[in-house]
Structure 1
Amino acid sequence: MRDRLFSFIYKYNLRPNRNLGQNFLIVPDIIERNVERAELSERDTVLEIGPGLGVLTDELSRRAGKVYAIEADNRMIEILRKEYSWPNVELIEGDAVKVDWPEFNKMVSNLPYQISSPVTFKLLRRDFERAVLIYQLEFAERMIARPGDKNYSRLSLMVQAKASVELVERIGRGAFWPRPKVDSAVVLIQPKPKEERIELNENLVKALFQHRRSTVSSALRKSAHMLGTDKRSIKSYLPSLPHAEKRVFQLSPEEVLDIEVYLRGNGFFHEGRKREKPSPPAR
């Protein structure tokens, strides 16, 4: 597996494109463990983001019924088409953040780190059964952070509102070529049952976590413009606001939902809301 990867690198005189986050995983054991974690069978359709030189793709093709691999680098697409003859792999050239994803039920990927956030949020909007993804370690730690932890963030809350996440393995820099500047981690993502998933207003979450160390009432005043209003207008909602004196980074998804339900029930959110202009000064 490792020898094949380097033979391709030398054969095609490849220089990894850092703008595309190309760091190739070269440790076969990690690839095998991730394929095992995905619990694949011939009934599964797998989505892979960033197949690179096809080392992981090759293993996925042996276990799954169908594999879709989205690759932004046309050099890699050409090499994959020349070097492999997978009967059940479909290559899709394009930016994984922008292209339409095909239907799948599992995802297994060594993600380009610069698209980790948009790919994760895009994944959480889909119906799927299981995802086994490699992230930058710091990003993975934020994904699994609990309310009140120093790493707890908008990412933590939005992911945990819809899925169970577990950091299952840390990976050193030497497991990749070229070596990245940071350590990595494998994260297992499993969607919560539909009745347990919490759909949150993303604008509200962004407004709150813009000031994650502030109290909820203070954060909403400071971020009123992000919600299409101003400090004076939002102030009237604060006296009875749930969890108003709690720090934002201590809020669970359920508590953010409490805040949203209260604001919505009192007419704060409505379609087409625009920023309210302050009244002109009296003459």
Structure 2
Amino acid sequence: MLTETKRLLCRDGIWLDRRLGQNQVIDASILKKMIDYAEVTKNDKVLEIGAGVGNLTVMLAEAAGTVTAIERDKKLIRILKERLKGRTNVKVLQGDALEMELPEFNKIVSNLPFSISSRITFKLLGLKFDIAVLMFQKEFAERLVASPGSKNYGRLTVNVYYRAKAELLDEVPPSAFFPQPKVSSAIVRLKPRQPPFEIKDEQLFSRVVRALFQHRNQRVRNALLHSFSEIFPKTKMTKNEIKSFIGSTLPGKFLEARVPELTPEDLGEITNLLTSP
């Protein structure tokens, strides 16, 4: 697969740009694992974002009912269309997946450009689908599945947990890519689900989580005080009034806890208690 990837790129005079995340997986066993983890069958409509030279696309075309492959780089689109010529179950789209309306799909399998990991993950979690199997930078993947109290636990962890079950399935070394990235990668599976706890105001939840983790090393009482204007941007309360509101609204178990110690459920409960002052 490495030889074929280099041949296609050399023939068309294309240089892949690491800064754009154009690292192509050249280990067929890794690509097969991704397809197997997604349990792809002929009944599935599969979406691939960042198709590159089509190493994964070709294998998806064999396994899935239909495949829609999105690639931003016009030069790589030429290679994709040539490799997939005659495959009637594959549609190739040129464009930015962050900006375009995504086609209907029930599964997504992708080696994502690292630079769009967070933004595309939340865009996907706003849509309906069954399973996503995605390649991320290892550090990002570890943040997705981190436990409360750990160094990787944060806003990303909480917001994904609220929307989906995340599993880190495999670590992938730099040698599985061309060109090789400087860091290891990981395969993650996301399964959307109903939220595991009730939130009365999801926008307020998002603001509370963001504000608290901006002060992750502080106790909740102080973190809320320092970020109160971000949570309630229309407030005209004085600092003393804010202190009084926080102290009278939340129980001591939350006020004295440090932010990383809070579970997603705790953060949901805090949000529900913090009605507009």
Question: If the length of structure 2 is used for normalisation, what is the TM-score?
Answer: 0.90
The residue aligned with 2:255 is 244
Q: Pick which of 124-133 and 198-207 moved more.
A: 198-207
Cα drift, residue 184 of structure 1? 0.6
Residue in structure 1 matched with residue 80 of structure 2 by the alignment: 80
Match of 1:89 in 2: 90
Give the corresponding residue for 1:278. none
1:251 aligned partner, one-letter code: L
After TM superposition, give the deviation of residue 263 of structure 1 in Å. 1.1
74-83 or 167-176, which deviates more: 74-83
Aligned to 2:270: 259
Q: Aligned letter for 1:112?
A: P
Shift of residue 169, structure 1, vs aligned partner? 0.6
- Do the aligned residues in 2 keep the contact of 1:169 with 1:186 (CA within 8 Å)? yes
Residue 106 of structure 2 aligns to which amino acid in structure 1? N
How much has 1:102 moved relative to structure 2?
A: 1.3
Matched, 1:217 2:228: no
Q: CA deviation at 1:13?
A: 2.0
Aligned to 2:39, what secondary structure does the other structure show?
coil
SS in 1 for 2:13: coil
Is residue 204 of structure 1 aligned with residue 215 of structure 2?
no
The 5 A counterparts of 1:166-245 are 166-192=167-193, 194=194, 196=196, 200=202, 201-227=205-231, 228=233, 229=235, 232=239, 233-239=241-247, 240-242=249-251, 243-245=254-256
The one-letter amino acid of 1:111's match is L
Question: How much does 1:222 deviate?
Answer: 1.1
Q: Say which structure is richer in helix.
A: 2
Structure-2 separation of matches of 1:226 and 1:70: 37
> In structure 1, what is the Cα distance between the partners aligned to 2:271 and 2:245?
11
Q: Measure the CA separation in 2 of the matches of 1:195 and 1:73.
A: 36
**Offset of residue 221 of structure 1:** 1.1
Task: Kindly provide the CA deviation profile for residues 123-149 of structure 1, in whole angstroms up to 9, marking residues without a partner as x.
Answer: 111111111111101111111101111
Q: Which amino acid aligns with 1:244?
A: L
Q: Is the 8 A contact 1:164 1:191 kept in 2?
A: yes
Instruction: Quote the RMSD (CA, aligned, Å).
Output: 1.7
Deviations along 1:17-76, one digit per CA (max 9) or x if unpaired, are 234211111111100111111101121111111000001011111111111112111111
Deviation at 1:157, TM superposition (A): 0.9
> How far 1:195 sits from its partner (Å)?
5.7
Identity of aligned residues (%): 42
Moved over 6 A (4+): none
SS at match of 1:158: helix
Going from structure 1 to structure 2, the CA distance change for 1:195 and 1:148 (only over 3 Å counts) comes to closer
Structure 1's 57 and 198: CA in aligned 2 closer, same or farther, altered over 3 A? farther
CA distance in 1, matches of 2:197, 2:31: 30
Contact 2:138–2:185 (8 Å) recurs in 1: yes
Q: In structure 2, what is the equivalent of residue 104 of structure 1? A: 105
Q: Equivalents in 1 of 2:27, 2:153: separation in Å?
A: 31
2:44 aligned with 1:44, yes or no? yes
Structure 2's unaligned 5+ residue stretches are none
How many residue pairs are counted as aligned between the two chains?
265
Kindly provide the CA deviation profile for residues 131-189 of structure 1, in whole angstroms up to 9, marking residues without a partner as x: 11111011111111011111101111111112111111111111111111111111111
